[in-house]
Structure 1
């Protein structure tokens, strides 16, 4: 029978004899036929071709027929297009084929009978599209279940269940970098339905920032890692992911990609890193005054001393001691004494403004300033400013608001650091200058140079 209007048919089958026979048959009946030998080719064709009917073989390379049917049935443009499965395993797999959302199954058998069944399915296509019609299997009466095929299908389904149950994302990538298999976990990694993953370029799923690393993993440049913790790791869609690629296929041109969600591990690791950083900071902060402690002071002094040697610079050390602090404590109480130490600490710290400067609590009621690239005159000027402002401190957190008029004794030592002088000598000289200031009546500055 010759058809008045040509309708479009898409045939998808990797067997060239079957493909040619079905195409010739349909063209004789005035259908316009396009053929594809695997699921990827079919998806590419559908970007520019709108079929009226689709025939899909189940067993194909790249994207298999079952996956292709699921993708096709979810494409809006194919919502009302009849889809028929061509199956050589209809006798063994008919009940599972019905789950694919297709309209009929045509058993592969003798060519003449199969051809008649193809034409019958087309003639009945309108009624087969009705949702209350049970999916027919044409040609099943001439087929008999084969034990070996059933066993292989059981093994296949067993592995499919395993792949679906694991938490790792598993994908297969062909030589062109397109996804031809993805398990359910892979869909969650990319927040995309499996149907949208299949056929797409794998690299395109990643951010521009992550693509170079992903490409290197696929190319085998990042293949050997002694432990999983050393595998390449990146952030994608709010998850931290480890990824490895395994060569597959007879020529090794395909890749099995395994994605492992290490978000919990990475968050724990980052929390530990942050906690260690905070502990490192706390280890160098004086708990009472919240400025640097003696440990931080010693580290900075040695660091700046070496820098001044390299740069042929000069530096000063200033030591400040609160005069008659014990008397203040006895008169106003320990809370007021603590507040006084905090106030003096902030006064000293305000004068450590440049990179390399450091204000620290040196011990008890004694404070220190490291002043790299500072001449003696500059340090004396700074010391006088601190001395003047110390006489007008207000202690708001004392038992009652207290205007404290305190004085400081300050010792300064200036030096041009060299390998012949140690920073300890600079410090001991500043300490001696401090005691000289206290013995000279307090409330004064004693400068020295070495």
Structure 2
């Protein structure tokens, strides 16, 4: 459809008819109605005119020499520049089959000759109104498509922003729960996790193990090798402990200074001892030289252990306190070892033929 419609007219109409009288009568009445009119005496001329300036509407005679109206219509509909121009056929052929053929070829309407001028004017007005409404609808659809595209783009941008924000928040939350130096859990997360596991174990009546690991003579190590070396060693020790406590539910946390805590849910005494011995084995394999240690030429750990089945009479603070007592006992016994505190049901926790010298209390009395 042409975008070059002449201003101050109701539309640009092309009349195609090989009869001069028809051209004269139709053009006169349509110009009086306010339309701009162009004329073509044959189909070939009509095709050239449409290529030069596409009209808003075509009145097309069917019976013409060389190229009849059907073929002209077919060529116009096959051209992307003219395919949307509405065509009203003019013909003396009034048989239904002729009208159906015209519509099938792409015609918008069909007027039989001799025509009534009032009928022509009304049908022209109707087709131009339909064409105008279709163009308005197309413009609205294009605007809506553009708006929808912009809206989808905005939604996608917001979704990506939300994902990025969520990732940042998760990272910040993760950082807030990690010890910045050793990259294991910090004390805050340890307290929360221990409380949750205590409640769960109490409900399910399953054993809960807790360990405190303290680097032997770490102050002397820092004094000898410096704090930078001390920080690097803390990282290596934390990694060694994580390697030993590797189940998904196991938690390794920095308790403070050179102390590390380990939470082992649903772990009996024998399993806890295996983890403690594996921790010491992992540390031995590192062979971190400690010239000022009294117990070994390499860095060592003392470990306190508590294994219990939580109940409502006690709390995680009791668990930490007894584990600290066990750690103190391990140090009193020469360091570089572990000592355990087992709360009640001694036979439940102990494996057969276990070295009970590692146990210093089996009752809850001093909780």
TM-score, length-normalised on structure 1?
0.47
Shift, 1:300, TM fit:
1.2
Shift, 1:93, TM fit:
4.5
Check 1:333–1:421 CA distance in 2 against 1; reply closer, same or farther (3 A cut).
same
Q: 1:288 aligns with which of 153, 167, 181?
A: 181
Q: 2:142 aligns with which of 183, 189, 197?
A: 183
Q: Is the 8 A contact 1:319 1:412 kept in 2?
A: yes
- Determine the structure 2 residue equivalent to 1:440: 333
Distance 1:379 1:139 in 2: 94
Deviations 1:203-260 (A, max 9, x none): xxxxxxxxxxxxxxxxxxxxxxxxxxxxxxxxxxxx873xxxxxxxxxxxxxxxxxx8
Where 1:129 maps in the other structure, the secondary structure is: helix
Q: 1:129 aligns with which of 47, 50, 55?
A: 47
Distance 1:183 1:323 in 2: 76
Distance 1:339 1:354 in 2: 25
Q: Is the 8 A contact 1:390 1:405 kept in 2?
A: no
Check 1:389–1:262 CA distance in 2 against 1; reply closer, same or farther (3 A cut).
closer
Deviations 1:18-42 (A, max 9, x none): xxxxxxxxxxxxxxxxxxxxxxxxx
Distance 1:355 1:240 in 2: 43
TM-score, length-normalised on structure 2?
0.57
Check 1:91–1:113 CA distance in 2 against 1; reply closer, same or farther (3 A cut).
farther
- Determine the structure 2 residue equivalent to 1:340: 233
Deviations 1:423-447 (A, max 9, x none): 1111111111111212222111110
Where 1:406 maps in the other structure, the secondary structure is: coil
Check 1:121–1:434 CA distance in 2 against 1; reply closer, same or farther (3 A cut).
farther
Where 2:178 maps in the other structure, the secondary structure is: coil
Greater length-normalized contact order (CA 8 Å, ≥ 6 residues apart)? 2
RMSD: 4.1
Distance 1:378 1:240 in 2: 58
- Determine the structure 2 residue equivalent to 1:383: 276
Shift, 1:180, TM fit:
9.7
The structure whose residues are more often strand, as a share, is: 1
- Determine the structure 2 residue equivalent to 1:427: 320
Shift, 1:375, TM fit:
0.7
1:267 aligned onto 2:160:
yes
Superposition map of 1:236-247 within 5 A:
241=152
Distance 2:144 2:178 in 1: 47
Paired residues, number = 247
Deviations 1:323-377 (A, max 9, x none): 0001111111212111111111011111222232111111110001100111112
Larger Rg: 2
Q: Is the 8 A contact 1:240 1:266 kept in 2?
A: no
- Determine the structure 2 residue equivalent to 1:355: 248
Q: Is the 8 A contact 1:408 1:444 kept in 2?
A: yes
Superposition map of 1:165-180 within 5 A:
none
Shift, 1:280, TM fit:
0.3
- Determine the structure 2 residue equivalent to 1:308: 201
1:405 aligned onto 2:293:
no
